[in-house]
Chains A and B, each alone.
Chain A
Amino acid sequence: AQSVTQLGSHVSVSEGALVLLRCNYSSSVPPYLFWYVQYPNQGLQLLLKYTSAATLVKGINGFEAEFKKSETSFHLTKPSAHMSDAAEYFCAVNPPNTGNQFYFGTGTSLTVIP
Chain B
Amino acid sequence: EAGVTQSPTHLIKTRGQQATLRCSPISGHTSVYWYQQALGLGLQFLLWYDEGEERNRGNFPPRFSGRQFPNYSSELNVNALELEDSALYLCASSLVQGAADTQYFGPGTRLTVL
Contact = CB atoms under 8 A, between A and B. Distances in A.
Interface of A: 9, 32, 34, 36, 41-46, 49, 51, 90, 92, 94, 96, 99-107
A90 B48 CA distance: 19
B99 A101 contact: no
B100 A99 contact: no
A100 B104 contact: no
A31 B4 CA distance: 25
B47 to A, nearest CB: 11
A48 B46 CA distance: 23
B41 A106 contact: yes
A70 B105 CA distance: 31
Given A90-B43, A100-B101, A102-B45, A42 B107 contact: yes
A45 to B, nearest CB: 7
Given A43-B105, A46-B104, A49-B100, A107 B42 contact: yes
A101 B49 CA distance: 11
B56 A99 contact: yes
B7 to A, nearest CB: 13
12 contacts: A32-B99, A34-B102, A43-B105, A45-B105, A46-B104, A94-B100, A99-B55, A99-B96, A100-B48, A101-B48, A101-B56, A102-B103
